[in-house]
Amino acid sequence: MRSNDAIHLGLMLLALAAAYLVPFELLLLAYVVLGPAHYFTEISWLHDRSYYLPHRGIALVLAIVAVVAALIDNASWFGFAMWAALIVCAMLAATATAIESMLLFMVAIALSAIMYSSGSSLAVIGILIPTLIHVSLFTLIFMVLGAYRSGSRVQAALVVVYLAAIAAIVLLPPTAEIRIASFARVGQDYFGNVGPALGRLFGVPGLVLDTRLTSLLAFVYTYHYLNWFIKADVIRWTEVPKARLAAMAAASAASTALYFYDYAFGFTFLLALSLIHILLEFPLNSLALRQLGAAMQSEVRAFHAARTATAAPRPAKSRASKRTTRPR
């Protein structure tokens, strides 16, 4: 096992242990302390790669949409903004031809109509995209894609450990008590709607932000941030001018300080900053989904070809060929 993989595993287990011991406190501290550092460094990294968009100017539009969305009170309109931004980014970054873009757009229109007719579906998708889908599902996709590309069994095992950790929290929830009541109240302000959204999605009435869900959020958020930081030698997000790196560190510290100085304003600022980095990452997320789908399709074809070759009957030798192969 490489040292980086060992650190990866250690941080994952550390996040899991902390999620069991202090879930309410970990969730808020990860979001407020690790979050801004992740947002600024990833935006910097995406900027150097043109945000995986055909034109950088589109990124400015996405940032403006994120700021406006942070101020939207209507859950359905907020969900529509998140959903529309994701579809547009997928059309720009993950489609290779105009026909693919048209097909994706038609599917998106059909899904949008279904969600609109069901009433609360847009609100549910708006809650889950910037929370669980972003920090858990897309993290899993990048982990699987990285393990596939590297062919590393250790990285594949890390994917299994990650899924096992989530399953452990869901099936064997912690019984930790709230040590800092104010942290729990603040966590409820931001993540309290995740429980009802999951309840509506899976048909589980009365689902709230209890210890089980808080622990799950604390783990996936903490690991999402740590996973970004430990990939510095892989994606090289630290290879920027020292002046920019210092500016990012100062902005991150100022964002955290602002939150603790003025909770209301700091909450709004961090929400907008979080949404900006989420929308700017949508093109990369869409591209990763396409690449993972292509990899899975390639594996299925290879498996099918191998089975076909194994099942095919061997050609019988003719009499003439048998005579020519007899030893003299």
Confidence band of 242 (pLDDT split at 50, 70, 90): very high
What are the two backbone dihedrals, phi and then psi, of residue 56, each rounded to the nearest 5 degrees? -65, -25
Q: How many CB atoms lie within 10 A of CB 59?
A: 21
Distance CA 12, CA 270 (A): 25
Higher pLDDT, 179 or 110: 110
Q: Is residue 154 part of a domain?
A: yes
What is the count of structural domains for the chain?
A: 1
Q: Residue type for 321, please?
A: S
Q: Is residue 318 part of a domain?
A: no
323 in a structural domain: no
Q: pLDDT per residue over 95-109, tens digit each?
A: 989 999 999 999 999
- Residue 326: inside a domain: no
Domain presence at residue 276: yes
- Tell me if 325 is assigned to some domain: no
Residue 322 is assigned to a structural domain of this protein: no
pLDDT in tens, 187-231: 777 787 787 777 776 666 777 778 889 899 999 999 999 999 988
Q: To which H or E segment does residue 326 belong?
A: none
Structural domain harbouring 296: 3-313
Across 161-190, average pLDDT: 81
Residue 76 in any domain: the answer is: yes
Q: Which residues of 148-173 are buried (b: 16+ CB within 10 A; e: fewer)?
A: beeeeeebbebeeebeebbebbeeeb
Angle between helices 57-70 and 75-93 (to 10 degrees): 170
167-171, 293-297, 315-319 — which is least confidently predicted? Answer: 315-319
